[in-house]
Structure 1
Amino acid sequence: NKARPWITQFNGLALSGTDDKAWRVIKDGGRLDYYAGATISPRAIARAVHKAARWFDANREQLFKPEGGQP
């Protein structure tokens, strides 16, 4: 859908205040839509984006620490 690309469903989806289950496709009880006949790729993308967001959240301080190691 060119008017609303599938990937835009992740806009505004945050780790805080969002149940882990929401990061799944609707077919699996989540909130992310998918195209009929194409659930494998959306599942993989949803898992990868959720995993990346969790990693970022866990490593945020280290990622944004100024050079020299002082927070």
Structure 2
Amino acid sequence: MKVVVDRSKCVSLGICEGLAPEIFVLNDEGELEVDDQADVDPADIELVRSAVSGCPVSALSVADD
């Protein structure tokens, strides 16, 4: 499973970072940083799903490999 970020929708509210700080980080410029090329660690899947469902602009999704 990989995190997919639609950068055209992301408005950097930071809700994902609050829900899953191990996965999502807003940098000093307020831009979301996430390694969307890496597989999500199985231990973090529920955190990622929580962040995806908590995104108010639907900028996040997951893709199965």
TM-score surpassing 0.5?
A: no
Point out the structure with max Rg over C-alpha.
1
- Give TM-score, length-normalised by structure 2: 0.31
Larger relative contact order (Cα-Cα within 8 Å, sequence gap ≥ 6): 2
More helix by share: 1
More strand by share: 2
